[in-house]
Amino acid sequence: MSKIYDVIILGAGPAGLAAGLYAGRSCLSTLVIEKGKDGGQIAITDEIENYPGQSLGEESGPSLIARMTAQVAKFGAERVSDVIKEVKLEGPVKTLIGNKGEYQAKAVILATGAFPRPIGCENEGKFVGKGISFCATCDANFFQDFEVFVVGGGDSAVEEAMYLTKFARKVTLIHRRNELRAAKSIQEKAFKNPKMNFMWDTVVEKVDGEELLDTMYCKNVKTGEVTVVKADPDDGLFGLFGFIGLLPNSKLFEGQIEMENGYIKTDDNMHTNIPGVFAAGDIRVKSLRQVVTAAADGAIAAMQAEKYLAEME
């Protein structure tokens, strides 16, 4: 351990990358730490339709993120790929302990985002990667001409189900209510798509199969009736994609930082309850989790970190 950075940004999704851009441009010595690929949730999103100024129909999550990453590099933020296991956030110097080393900074921006909520059915763990997936962009091509089911009724479920219709011969959306939560414009496209089918008022109770997923027990929550869905014998399997919301990536900060339902509490300027510790993006308590709000959070957090550092001197 040697260098004490001005600011460490944990997470390189849209919030972390925007923070990296603003911190770097402000000539703060900046380190961005990410454990996997840049982009967080949008790295696995096929189509981005609502980021202001983009070319419509031409923007995918990975393409947008690639440009954000390049912009951060241009303004001088350092990068490291590591999994942080422990954080010490109190005091004037914050320490983050990872598998590869320890990192220190006077300010920290937490932008660790959120991850997909499990479907919650019996045997789910046994079939993740063997029929069950949480990423259409990653796994759709495995289901070329197969049958696919999607659980959820929000923007993600409907958009990703539509994406899956480009690969699967039939896509059935399973939703626990009889109306979708997704934006009306997205719903309209889905209802018009001839490959889309809907199972309303239904939850998946159990999944099964020899090696690969080929059986599913679906319960109608109004009638209690259970329908057994079996893979077509010629196929031998079907796909089941879960898009039922997100869970915050905040376990690392438990007991150190104020949270609400696992999301970090901040004020409008991204300050947490600990001086010098900021949070940005999906990880914080907020009303709208979108790329545009994540990027805005990141920019605010970086500028507030700069102000905090100036006042420390």
Which residues contribute to the site for ligand NAP (CB under 6 A)? 49-50, 120, 151-157, 159, 176-177, 181, 203, 243-246, 289-290
| Closer Cβ to ligand NAP, 179 or 234, answer by number | 179
Query: Least distance (Å) from ligand NAP to the CB of residue 48?
Result: 7
121 among known catalytic residues:
no
Of 122 and 211, CB closest to ligand NAP: 122
**Smallest separation (angstroms) from ligand NAP to the CB of 305:** 26
b or e along 106-131 (b: 16 or more beta carbons within 10 Å of the residue's beta carbon)? bbbbbbbbbebeebebebbeebeeeb
Does the CA dihedral 133-134-139-141 come out positive or negative? positive
**Closer residue to ligand NAP (CB): 49 or 188:** 49
Do residues 60 and 46 touch, judged by C-beta distance below 8 A?
Answer: yes
Q: Are 45 and 92 in contact (CB under 8 A)?
A: no
Select 82 or 205, whichever has its Cβ closest to ligand NAP.
205
Two tokens, residue 254: 């438990």
* Nearest distance from C-beta of residue 133 to ligand NAP, angstroms: 14
Q: From the CA atom positions of the chain, what is the Rg in Å?
A: 21
Q: Which residue is nearest to ligand NAP (CB)?
A: 154
Q: Is 102 in contact with 115 (CB distance < 8 Å)?
A: no
User: How wide is the angle at C-alpha 250 spanned by C-alphas 246 and 256, nearest 5°?
Assistant: 155
Active-site position among 6, 38, 46, 139: 139
Min dist. Cβ of residue 301 to ligand NAP (A): 20
**Residues 6 or more apart in contact with residue 184 via CB below 8 angstroms:** none
Active site residues: 135, 138-139
